[in-house]
Amino acid sequence: MIPRNQKIQSRPPLERWYTYVLFIFIGFCIADLAILAYRDRMLPQSAPPARPKAAAFDNSISRGAYNPIISRNIFASSGVIPDALVDKNKPSAEQEAAPVLSSLPLNLIGTLVHSNPDKSIAAIEVKGKNQVISYTAKKEIEGMATIISVERQKVILRNLNSNRLEYIEMKKEGAKVAFGAGAATTTGKEVQKIGDNNFVLKKADLLKYTNDLSSLLMQARAVPNREPGTGAVNGFRVLDMKPGSIFEQLGIQRMDVIKAVDGTPVDSPAKAMELYQALKNSNKLSIQVERNGKTETMNYNIQ
């Protein structure tokens, strides 16, 4: 008979491993049951305390921070604001004296007053030069004066030598032509008609009219003619004229629209004045007019 102790020692190694695994399994089961029994006690019974919120950073600047800048002038360390810079040689508007009659060698030949003062035109002759030039506001006259404003038969200017306001006006001596009077301004026919829309006139007769702009302007009345829709000026419509006037002799009729002179459009008072000055040196001249919806060309031979 084999002793008991000898039987245990003689067990195979595989059986011993099964025994160890069984003990380990039983230990895990006991641990799991213990965890299930004490799990509720291990869990927290209350919520964790709330973390305090970070204070919002205020990056705005209070008005008081600007007080050092407001209380002093940053351009002067003394904090005193200096007086405004003014030209002591130029009188202020309150101190400017009223315009006086100018003694400059200038003759006012005529004026065209526009609704926009900057577009008004004055025809001025510089004595000794026998030349009439058109000027608008702010233009300088031969280094003598600057135009301030153009009024009816009068021009306000600033004398560049004395820096004071002066004025020139059209001569009032002599009989003025009254528009609408019955008598004609001419004693004879200065313009001869030699064919349909063809005329001949003498240079001396042309200069007689162009040198007296004031009388010339009073022989007819014209207004800007505007295109429907756009309102752009496309000429000047002759509303009325004095019987026997130079305009009538030139073949111009009432309600004609003067569109161009020698192909140059007449679309502004300034352009009309420029063309008026060009007439003095012309030998031939053509005027395009719109009459009864048709365009006609009036040709003039200046001898």
pLDDT of res. 89: 60
| Cβ–Cβ under 8 Å, residues 163 and 90 | yes
- Tokens representing residue 269 in the block: 């008072």
What pTM did the predictor assign? 0.43
Tell me the pLDDT of the chain (303 aa) as tens digits.
Answer: 445 555 545 556 777 787 888 888 888 888 888 888 777 777 777 777 777 777 666 677 777 777 777 666 666 666 666 676 766 565 555 557 889 999 898 888 777 777 778 878 787 878 877 666 778 888 898 889 999 998 878 899 999 998 899 999 877 543 333 333 333 344 456 778 888 888 888 877 777 766 666 566 667 777 788 887 787 888 888 878 888 887 888 888 888 888 888 888 888 766 776 666 666 677 888 888 888 888 898 888 887
Question: Do residues 184 and 190 make contact, with C-beta atoms less than 8 angstroms apart?
Answer: no
pLDDT value for 182: 35
Question: What pLDDT score was predicted for residue 277?
Answer: 66
User: Per-domain residue ranges for the chain?
Assistant: 100-169, 191-302
Q: Encoding tokens for residue 13? A: 């190694």
Specify the CATH architecture of the domain 100-169. Answer: Roll (2.30)
Q: What is the CATH number of domain 191-302?
A: 2.30.42.10
Phi, then psi, of 65 in degrees rounded to 5: -65, -20
Show the tokens assigned to 125: 């002759």
Sign, Cα dihedral of 185, 186, 192, 195: positive
- Which pLDDT does position 157 carry in this prediction? 93
Predicted pLDDT of residue 180: 35
- CA-closest candidate to residue 271, choices 260, 282, 280: 260
Residues in CB range of 29: below 8 A, 6 or more apart: none
